[in-house]
Amino acid sequence: MFCPFYQMGLCQFLQTSQESEKYDSWAVVTGPTAGIGKGFAFELARKELNLILVGQNPEKLKDVSDLILAKFGKTQIKTVVVDFTSDLDDGVRKLRETIEGLEVGILINNVGISYPYARFFHEVDEELLKNLIKVNVEGTSKATQAVLPGMFQRKRGAIVNIGLGAAIVIPSDPLYVVYAATKYIYQFSRCLYVEYKKNGIDVKYQVELYVTTKMESIKRSSCFVPSTNGYAQAAMHWIGYGPRCIPYWPHAILWTLAYALPESVVDSWRLGFCLGIRKRGQLKYSRKKE
Catalytic residues: 179
Task: Identify each DSSP E strand in 73-165 by its residue range.
Answer: 77-81, 104-109, 157-164
Give me the torsion for CA of 244, 31, 118, 216, rounded to 10°.
Answer: 70
Buried b (16+ CB within 10 A) or exposed e, 19-33: ebeebbebbbbbbbb
CA distances from 192 to 148, 149, 153, 161 (A): 10, 13, 16, 11
Residue ranges of the alpha helices (H) in 100-208? 126-133, 140-154, 177-182, 185-196
Q: Which amino acid is at 115?
A: Y
